[in-house]
A and B are shown apart, each in its own frame.
With several copies, the nearest count.
Chain A
């Protein structure tokens, strides 16, 4: 660990010394209908990922908690959308300050309108703002998987607002908004660090702060509805095309490449996860296949526009067993209760992806990108390591602080009685499934 810290130290110093260069004012681009159509539709696809995640996660919890998960996802959609317009977009994509944060010029989306974004491929700035919003949304929603089945809803609401403002917005600025990571050349095509590592690590910290679910030690808690999880995985995969290909910000060859490798890595992830469990306990499972697909999608995210199809296949073959190990063995050994494996899949898969981007990236694939280790550029790999470490530290620390502060004012966790009863009943006063045509029947115990 030591050399890493030193590297980080140097990097920080180095960054502080970079003169705050004004980006060469780009020529106003003419609107391109093809690219605009692409980004708008991709935004819709990415938006669908959050309801998709709700299904993916919803199927995994016990039936008494399924509505609480769906509710967290819908709440994130509401909170982050409003926050983004008021503050988030400008913090992330406003004119850079000290490579750390965007300025407040776009407060309330002032001036973000129909005109093409300067320097873009002819996309209205409103479209860019909408596209990026969907990323902020799904990222915050991912965390709910780590705290599922025990976090109080009101605490979750406050946490979401603070987290998206204090963790997501700065990170998005660093990587995509012209901040220090961008300046250093750390590569993250569609959000390996910004989206997956940040949410995974924050989820892990939150799971540790909240503690384990009741009864977790006595028994393995099983998904209550795997077809729902499968549906969610399908919608996520679908939306991920918008996520990764859309991140080219144009309907061009890079987008096409990103599209192709996204699909491949998901496929290879299924392959390798199912293979690992088949060897390990003798049976291939649907839950494993769905998990492997998501792990593959996570892993390719930072690399999507930069690597070749064959590299994507290799990445998918690696991410399956590694994530499988993380969720089946490592979690137990360390003893944290990351309910739905937000860290195990998004944290670990994102980390692997960010690092492998530094291995497999190649300018022969995308001349606008960088070369990685295999193309003879070990510096890029070190930069990727730096990006990962910085994201772990930043996201982990700030999440911990946010939770500590909220914990001062209110309980983070439901009572034991509420947990036994189920969050649907105790927090939301609803039943997910009502069997007969009669009122007056509840699943509560």
Chain B
């Protein structure tokens, strides 16, 4: 099993949820995060005093899936969240050793 983490623009979440749902991927977990990458920092002013903002609000979507779904999910994320501009975000993929559903105790792919 794999864990696919996608750090995306918050405004893309709604659409991504729909796309994944249509692909048959229902399970996912969402985090509010702040991130820095290549995106240019901006200046704010509070009573005229400068603050340099270099962390931006992002949403992280985490999907644990069987190995063979990896590719299509990644493609789905790219297709949905790509605007081509800096700040679109990144996808990270990790190995998962085990999954257990708490309600039933099932484990492995059956638990997904």
A residues neighboring B (CB under 8 Å): 215, 218-220, 222-223, 277, 280-281, 283, 285, 287-288, 291, 324, 327-329, 332, 341, 420, 425, 429-431, 435-445
- Inter-chain pairs besides A220-B51, A288-B47, 14 sampled, C-beta below 8 Å: A215-B11, A218-B14, A220-B50, A281-B43, A285-B45, A327-B47, A328-B47, A332-B49, A425-B42, A429-B43, A436-B32, A442-B42, A445-B56, A445-B87
Report Cα–Cα, A425/B9, bound state, in Å. Answer: 15
B42 touches A281 (CB 8 A): no
Decide: A291 near B45, CB < 8 A? Known: A436-B32, A438-B10, A441-B34: no
A328 touches B56 (CB 8 A): no
Contacts of B30 in A (CB 8 A): 441
Among candidates A285, A436, A444, residue contacting B59 with C-beta atoms closer than 8 Å? A436
Which of B43, B47, B50, B57 counts the most A-chain CB atoms under 10 A from its CB? B47
Interface CB pairs A-B, < 8 A, 19: A219-B51, A220-B50, A281-B43, A324-B48, A327-B47, A329-B48, A420-B11, A429-B42, A430-B46, A435-B32, A436-B10, A436-B32, A437-B11, A439-B52, A440-B52, A440-B55, A441-B30, A442-B42, A444-B42
Contacts of A440 in B (CB 8 A): 14, 17, 51-55
Report Cα–Cα, A341/B49, bound state, in Å. Answer: 12
CB distance from A404 to the nearest CB of B (A): 30
A328 touches B53 (CB 8 A): no
Among candidates B45, B50, B53, residue contacting A444 with C-beta atoms closer than 8 Å? B53
Q: Is B44 an interface residue, CB under 8 A from the partner?
A: yes
Decide: A445 near B10, CB < 8 A? Known: A436-B32, A440-B17, A440-B53: yes
CB distance from B81 to the nearest CB of A (A): 12
Q: Mark B23-37, 1 if CB is under 8 A from A, else 0.
A: 000000010101000
B48 touches A222 (CB 8 A): no
B residues neighboring A (CB under 8 Å): 9-11, 13-15, 17, 30, 32, 34, 42-59, 87
Report Cα–Cα, A429/B53, bound state, in Å. Answer: 10
Report Cα–Cα, A56/B87, bound state, in Å. Answer: 33
A327 touches B48 (CB 8 A): yes
Q: Which residue of B lies closest to A331 (CB)?
A: B49
Report Cα–Cα, A429/B44, bound state, in Å. Answer: 5
Contacts of B55 in A (CB 8 A): 440-442
B48 touches A442 (CB 8 A): no
CB distance from A336 to the nearest CB of B (A): 14
Report Cα–Cα, A283/B14, bound state, in Å. Answer: 25
Contacts of A277 in B (CB 8 A): 45, 48
Among candidates B13, B44, B49, B59, residue contacting A328 with C-beta atoms closer than 8 Å? B49
Q: Which residue of A lies closest to B52 (CB)?
A: A440
Report Cα–Cα, A429/B45, bound state, in Å. Answer: 7
B10 touches A442 (CB 8 A): no
